[in-house]
A and B are shown apart, each in its own frame.
Chain A
Amino acid sequence: MISRIGDKLQGLAFILVGLVAWEVLCRVANIPVWLLPSPTRIWQETMVLAPVLPRHLLATLIGIVGGFALAVLVALPLAIAIVYSPIMRRIIYPPLLMLQSVPKVALAPLLLIWVGYGMSSNIVIAATTAFFPIIITTASGLQSVDNDLLDLTRSFGSKALKVFWKVRFPWAMPYFFSSLKVAVTFAVIGAVVAEFIGSDRGLGYLILTSSGTMNTAAMFGVLVILSIVGMACFYAVVFAERVLCPWYTPAELA
Chain B
Amino acid sequence: MRQTVSQIGTHRSRGEYIQPVQDMWSSIVKLNAVTKDYATRSSGAVTALKDISIDIKDGEFVSIVGPSGCGKSTVLKIVGGIIPPTRGKVLFKERPLIKPTSEMGMVFQKAVLLPWRSVLENVLFPIEMLGLRVADYEEKARSLLKLVGLGGFENVYPQELSGGMQQRASICRALVYDPAMLLMDEPFGALDALTREELAIELLRIWDERKKTVVFVTHSITEAVFLSDRVIVMTPRPGRIVLDLPIDLPRPRTVDMEFSQQFKLYSEQVREGIYSSKKETAQ
Q: Which residues of A contact B185 (CB under 8 A)?
A: 148
CA distance A83 to B143 in the complex (A): 39
CA distance A138 to B117 in the complex (A): 21
Q: Which of B112, B117, B157 has most A Cβ within 10 Å?
A: B112
| Main SS at interface, chain A | helix
CA distance A148 to B109 in the complex (A): 9
A162 touches B129 (CB 8 A): yes
CA distance A43 to B63 in the complex (A): 77
Q: Chain A: which residue is nearest B101 at the CB level?
A: A157
Q: Which residues of A contact B129 (CB under 8 A)?
A: 153, 156, 158, 162, 166
B99 touches A157 (CB 8 A): yes
**Quick one: which of A151-181 are within 8 Å of B by CB?**
151-158, 162, 166-167, 170-171, 173
Q: Chain A: which residue is nearest B127 at the CB level?
A: A156
Q: Chain A: which residue is nearest B185 at the CB level?
A: A148
Q: Chain B: which residue is nearest A151 at the CB level?
A: B82
Q: Which residues of B contact A162 (CB under 8 A)?
A: 129
| Main SS at interface, chain B | loop
Q: Which residues of B contact A248 (CB under 8 A)?
A: 115-116
Of the candidates B80, B100, B102, B157, which one forms a contact with A247 in the assembled complex, judged by CB atoms under 8 Å apart? B157
CA distance A171 to B112 in the complex (A): 12
Cβ of A154 to closest chain B Cβ, rounded Å: 5
Q: Which residues of B contact A148 (CB under 8 A)?
A: 108-110, 112, 185
B81 touches A155 (CB 8 A): yes
B114 touches A167 (CB 8 A): yes
A151 touches B106 (CB 8 A): yes
Q: Chain B: which residue is nearest A162 at the CB level?
A: B129
Cβ of A243 to closest chain B Cβ, rounded Å: 13
Q: Chain B: which residue is nearest A167 at the CB level?
A: B114
CA distance A170 to B159 in the complex (A): 15
CA distance A156 to B179 in the complex (A): 11
CA distance A171 to B82 in the complex (A): 22
Q: Which residues of A contact B130 (CB under 8 A)?
A: 156-157
CA distance A148 to B186 in the complex (A): 12
Q: Which residues of B contact A7 (CB under 8 A)?
A: none
Q: 22 A–B contact pairs at CB < 8 A? A: A146-B112, A148-B108, A148-B109, A149-B112, A149-B114, A151-B80, A151-B106, A153-B129, A155-B81, A155-B82, A155-B106, A157-B99, A158-B129, A166-B128, A166-B129, A167-B114, A170-B116, A247-B115, A247-B116, A247-B117, A248-B115, A248-B116
Given contacts A154-B82, A154-B100, 18 further A-B contacts (CB under 8 A): A146-B112, A148-B108, A148-B110, A149-B114, A151-B77, A151-B108, A155-B81, A155-B100, A156-B100, A156-B102, A156-B130, A157-B130, A158-B129, A166-B128, A167-B114, A173-B116, A247-B117, A247-B157
